[in-house]
Amino acid sequence: MRISELSRRSGVPNATIKFYLREGLVPPGRATSATQAEYDEGHLRRLRLVRALISVRGLSVSAAKEVVGSLGEVEGDTYELLGLVFGVWPGADGNGPAGSGGGEGRGGGEDHDEGEDADVDALVAELGWDVTEFSPARKTVTQTLNTLRNLGLDCGWRDLVPYARLAERTATLDLDQIEGPDDPLEKAERAVLLTFLLEPALLALRRLAQESEAAARYRDQGLP
Amino acid sequence: MRISELSRRSGVPNATIKFYLREGLVPPGRATSATQAEYDEGHLRRLRLVRALISVRGLSVSAAKEVVGSLGEVEGDTYELLGLVFGVWPGADGNGPAGSGGGEGRGGGEDHDEGEDADVDALVAELGWDVTEFSPARKTVTQTLNTLRNLGLDCGWRDLVPYARLAERTATLDLDQIEGPDDPLEKAERAVLLTFLLEPALLALRRLAQESEAAARYRDQGLP
DNA sequence: CTAATATAGATAGTGCCACTCTCCAACTAG
DNA sequence: CTAGTTGGAGAGTGGCACTATCTATATTAG
């Protein structure tokens, strides 16, 4: 098919597809001549995935590129492959390096954001998790802990342990979901879908559950 | 204190504080004359919160305004108050209305994004949750489900039930954390902190857990 | 064959957003 | 008195995600 059909079937404007092609989010079509190229179902599929990552999950174009890029380099075994997928870390959003949340306390401490993962190390050790030292998710946890303390809550890594146990079970569900296909490529794509696209839904479920739990605890209870 | 001290102690540039004041993210100081105003610890606290919501959580300025705005209108009982906080829904990111993820299938279905929460209704009923019909989180779940189906996964609301059960327990932890303070205002602020700032960390924990679980299942296993 | 339409690829432009800069008329510290 | 700060307002900046235009072909309807 040509670009217009791709556009019609995906709902993505013609010009935007060209933009994604230029940015490398979608691989180029098979050129049939100087000004003609042929696209297939794979392109359509990729286009839909990119669209979902950007508009549903809210990834930036460059983050989405990294994510789908990891899909293109499937070479090793399943473990390596999933490591590649899970290792990609376009933050909780499109954020780059945001420092450590700014603001030294009244004492005037220094800002150092290198190393300093002592909290996460302890947490990981306590949980018995098997994660590399380079997972980008580490610094997200560190930063959150720092920020919360910065805002006056006295919380440490121990407070995260119960949350981490639940995350563990969530991850088990995730991995169960990708057991299905034998094809490593399909496994990888499914991992991307579940990891990234489920994120907004998981947060939404937490909100609904909070609402429900708050109703159970505090409704018809008057002022505390 | 005056604006420069606010800036020094928060690490937020002078001009940015002025911008936040203009946008209403931080309340105006107590004016002592035509060109002088006085700020207090409350302003500093608010400024740090706003900064965290924007740079750690990745909220847009307008979303952050909504969130902190809800803190200013504490009037009713604890239930109402938490409803106000939890009800604020600046999506999974700074996204506005992103349609239903674009793209009709090959059949050429129509896009309707009104109502259509049948899936979520069933899910909520199954879970026995007590949530209003107007929670913005509802359409996030609906949209995710639609998007996943659109991408070729055959998944329904039933697949979310186990995730929802875990969300339920996460919410229980959350509500436990805000039991502490008796002051409704402090409860509300804590709810904001836990709800929004913990989100990146929860997702990061899930990633780490995925990595660890993948290692346990697939490492040293060769090609599938 | 011609004419109308479509296409790939490149370049430039648009709109939004989160700041950031520049001014100016008051202040205020030394 | 003078130098430096402040609050306030408006304009300017840079990044990002597209979007529009242009050109040299290609295809296709007649």
β-strand pairing of A36-38 with B30-33: unpaired
Region A112-132 average pLDDT: 85
Per-residue flag: B184 CB under 7 A of strand D: no
- CA A32 to C1' D25, in angstroms, rounded, equals 12
- d(CA A219, CA B78) in angstroms, rounded, equals 8
- d(CA A213, CA B128) in angstroms, rounded, equals 11
Please report the number of interchain residue pairs, chain A to chain B, with beta-carbon separation below 8 angstroms. Answer: 344
Per-residue flag: B211 CB under 7 A of strand D: no
Rounded to a whole number, what is the largest CA-CA distance in chain A? 74
Domains detected in chain B? 1-72 (1.10.1660.10), 112-224 (no CATH)
Per-residue flag: B164 CB under 7 A of strand C: no
Region B188-216 average pLDDT: 93
CB-CB contact of B145 with B119 (8 Å): yes
Chain B, nearest residue to A147 by Cα: B52
pLDDT tens for each residue of B19-70: 999 999 999 999 898 889 999 999 999 999 999 999 999 999 999 999 998 8
Place of tokens 């050129």: A31
**Greater model confidence, B115 or B212:** B212
A37 φ/ψ angles, rounded to the nearest 5 degrees? -140, 155
Please classify residue A219 by burial: count the beta carbons closer than 10 Å to its beta carbon, then call 0-12 exposed, 13-18 middle and 19+ buried. Answer: middle
**Greater model confidence, B137 or A85:** B137
Per-residue flag: B61 CB under 7 A of strand D: no
Q: Does B143 sit within 8 Å of A77, measured CB to CB?
A: no
Return the DSSP state at B112. -
Q: Does B221 sit within 8 Å of A77, measured CB to CB?
A: yes
- CA B52 to C1' C28, in angstroms, rounded, equals 34
- CA A143 to C1' D7, in angstroms, rounded, equals 34
Q: CA torsion A75→A80→A86→A87, rounded to 10°?
A: -90
Q: At what angle do helices A137-150 and B198-218 cross, to 10 degrees?
A: 150
The pLDDT-based confidence of B185 (bands split at 50, 70, 90) is confident
B112 φ/ψ angles, rounded to the nearest 5 degrees? -125, 125
Residue at minimal CA–C1' distance from C20? B15
pLDDT for res A198: 96
pLDDT above 70: residue A117: yes
Q: Does B57 sit within 8 Å of A201, measured CB to CB?
A: no
When the pLDDT of each residue in chain A is averaged and rounded to a whole number, the result is 85
- d(CA A122, CA B23) in angstroms, rounded, equals 41
The pLDDT-based confidence of A161 (bands split at 50, 70, 90) is very high
Q: At what angle do helices B14-23 and B41-51 cross, to 10 degrees?
A: 90
Q: CA torsion A91→A93→A98→A104, rounded to 10°?
A: -100
Q: Residue length, chain B?
A: 224
Per-residue flag: B39 CB under 7 A of strand D: yes
Handedness of CA B87, A157, A90, A70 (dihedral sign): negative
- d(CA A182, CA B221) in angstroms, rounded, equals 14
- CA B193 to C1' C28, in angstroms, rounded, equals 39
- d(CA A143, CA A136) in angstroms, rounded, equals 11
Q: Does B190 sit within 8 Å of A78, measured CB to CB?
A: no
- d(CA B87, CA A123) in angstroms, rounded, equals 31
Residue at minimal CA–C1' distance from D17? A61
- d(CA B75, CA B83) in angstroms, rounded, equals 12
